[in-house]
Structure 1
Amino acid sequence: MNHKLVTVGRVILALYFLLPGIMKFVSWDMHVALMEKHGMSMIPLLLAAAAIIEILAAIALLIERYTALVSILLALLVVVINISLHDFWNFSGVEAAHEMQNFIKNLGIFAGLLVLAGHSGEESKAKNR
């Protein structure tokens, strides 16, 4: 049962990154505008890098390859996105509340990725014994 739950969680996390990674290319201009609104620089490079990382990492999670490493990489990406794009402290009113909600939601995703990385590391150790 435990392995099945971890598998379901891993697949859902993979989809959480795969679909937005694809959408970054499909809705390029919308994502550029969002990044501009938050005062980011080097937008085309950063947007393409984020999309490629999300897509490739999601595929790795789906096929259960390098799960611990990929989970840590995605966790770091979530931290960068949280600080850069969900900067609720720079807004007020409804916009601040929305950004804070996304910030806190991303902390949950961050936590899930850390748990997956830790669990994957433990599984690897068990297989090598």
Structure 2
Amino acid sequence: MDNTLAAAVPNHAHLGVAIGRLLMAVLFLVSGLLKITHLAAVTAMLAGLGMPFAHGVAPLVAMFETAGGLSLALGWQTRRVALALALFVVPATLMFHSFWNADAATYSNQLNHFLKNVAIFGALLMVASSSPTSQVDKDSR
């Protein structure tokens, strides 16, 4: 694009970053709140997978996802929270969506979830590396 055209087209990148951040927030808020409201089932699922201390891990995961989603939605500590969530997504993906161990009936579903989480990881890295889009983050620097 030549400089004249680039100057004439408004740059709405900040709007895209804000919308992307809010959509990531919704994902983690809903996931965390569902874990809170179905904590017994989440605990049983984790215990069934051999997770040590499932009774302690389940509420921590639920609170982490909920707090992370809320932080992203409010724009508070956006970079740190996005990085923390990205680091959380990696082991969760490897533990719960190991398509390489799946049988033929669940292979496609697990592969789709694995790839979705890879995309979520990438989106969180983009959020973490973008400039703060909230006055809350700007004030905390």
Query: Any gaps of 5 or more consecutive residues in structure 2?
Result: 1-11, 133-137
Root-mean-square deviation (Å): 1.8
Is structure 2 residue 85 aligned with structure 1 residue 74?
yes
Report deviation, 1:59. Answer: 1.1
Any idea what the Cα deviations from partners look like across 1:29-68, whole Å, max 9, x if unmatched?
3323332343322212221111111111111111111100
Give the TM-score, by structure 2 length.
Answer: 0.79
Residue 22 of structure 2: aligned partner: 11
Greater C-alpha radius of gyration: 2
Give the TM-score, by structure 1 length.
Answer: 0.86
Residue 43 of structure 1: aligned partner: 54
CA contact (8 A) 1:75 1:110 kept: yes
Aligned sequence identity (%): 30
Identify the match of residue 59 of structure 1 among 24, 47, 70.
70
Structure with the bigger percentage of helix: 1
Any idea what the Cα deviations from partners look like across 1:74-126, whole Å, max 9, x if unmatched?
001110110111122222112122111101100000000001101137xxxxx
